[in-house]
Each structure stands twice: as structure tokens, then as C-alpha cells.
Structure 1
Amino acid sequence: MISMNQPEPFKLEVSDAVLDDLRDRLSKVRWPQAHDGPAWALGTSLPFMKTVRDYWLGHYDWRENEKWINGFSHHRVNRRANGDRDRRAIGDQGLMRAYAVAGWRRA
């Protein structure tokens, strides 16, 4: 565990097994019946969601996007005594620094 307030560099690394599981789940989606009302009236448009799913299955290149994301510097910062972490993605491209902060308990 990292010490309090001490940034620790990290890279996004999603395993092939996780991506294979995602593709498997996406390929097995059980779609609801379309409703009779106007599109988006009762939630997300079913045709739109099918398009998104098809894009993720056939066209989205996770590894290319992972490489782009890892082009930025990323740091974890532990700001809580209980081990919850704040994740900060700190861009070093000179235009702006972006901070994404979230916390969760590690199981």
C-alpha cells in the first residue's frame, strides 16, 4: 500500500481475459422488446444501443485507446487512512492538467 499523499505512477492495463469476457457478454446481450412510444421516451433508444454494441464488438480498438490513454501520466494518491484511493490522471502535455478523483474500498 502506498503512503498517504504520496503519488504513485501507474498505467492502464486491461488483461486480454477481461476484454474477452466483455466481448463474450456483448455478443450474448438479451435485448428487451421495443416499446411503442417515441425513441428515448422510456430510456435509451434500442436501435442506438444495438449500434453501440456493434461498434464495441466490431470496430472499437481497445489496445489503441489504451495506448493513447497511457500517453498521459497517471498517478494514484492515497488520501484516506482506510486505504480508499483517489485516482488522479494528470496530463503533462502542457495545455491543462485534468484531475479525475474517485474513491472505493479495496476488497
Structure 2
Amino acid sequence: MTENDRDEGKLVSVLEARDELEAITIQAFLESQGIDAAIRSRQIPMYDGIARVWNPVWGYVLVMEENHDRAAELIMEYIDSCSSNEGNEEEDVSEVDIDT
């Protein structure tokens, strides 16, 4: 997502990521589905995760406002498919916070 894209509309949060890996994975997934996405970290550089003491959210996955509903739907489908493919190794997806 470029600076020009941001000038054309409003970025909104579609996911509160628990960690950097989750944020990057969801961003890459959305972009593979044709939805531009950006990541905004809540972490403070050089403080080694101390921001997580105050807020357990690592950061946010952002999309253009007009893409929010579709992105949220895709994320839920993605999480459901990951859960059903894992078999006995179930991940607790009840804590994934999709911003709706």
C-alpha cells in the first residue's frame, strides 16, 4: 500500500493482531485476495515488548474503509479453514479479535 493509496480513503482496523507473525500472515493473505493491507504496530522500539504489559494487542492490520467488510469476511473464512485443517491440533481462535 502506497502513500497515495492512503490519501484516497480512510484506513480502518480489520484485525487486532496478537503478535507480529499473525499480522504479517493476515496482511499477506488479504493482499493475495486483492485487498491492500497495512500493519501498524503498537510496540515501542527498543523497549522489547513492554507495551504489551499495558495492552496485549501487538498491533493492527489495516485496510481501506470500503474493503473492511470483505476483508473481515475473508479473515473469518481463513481462520475457519485453518482450524478445520489442523485436525487434533486446534488453535484457540476464539481470542482472535476481528474489528467489525
Per the normalisation by structure 1, the TM-score is 0.23
What is the TM-score of this pair, normalised by structure 2? 0.24
Q: Highest relative contact order (Cα 8 Å, sep 6+), 1 or 2? A: 2
Larger Rg: 1
> Hey, which of these two has a bigger chunk of strand by percent?
2
